[in-house]
Amino acid sequence: MIHRLRLYRDAVGTPITVFFDGNGAPAGTPSPISTPEMEVLYSRGSKSADDMIERVTHRFLEYGDVLAVTDDQAERDTVISLGGMASSCLSFIQTVENRKLRMILNITIVRNGISFSGAGKCAAINS
> What does R_g of the chain's alpha carbons equal in angstroms?
19
Residue 109's pLDDT is what? 62
Domains contained in the chain, number: 1
Residue 126's pLDDT is what? 39
* 10-29 pLDDT, tens digit each: 877 888 888 887 776 677 77
Average pLDDT taken over every residue of the chain: 79
User: Which parts of the chain register pLDDT below 70?
Assistant: 24-25, 31-32, 105-127
Q: What is the pTM of this model?
A: 0.70
Structural domain boundaries enclosing 83:
2-124
Summary count for the chain: helices (H), strands (E): 4, 6
Total count of residues recorded for the chain: 127
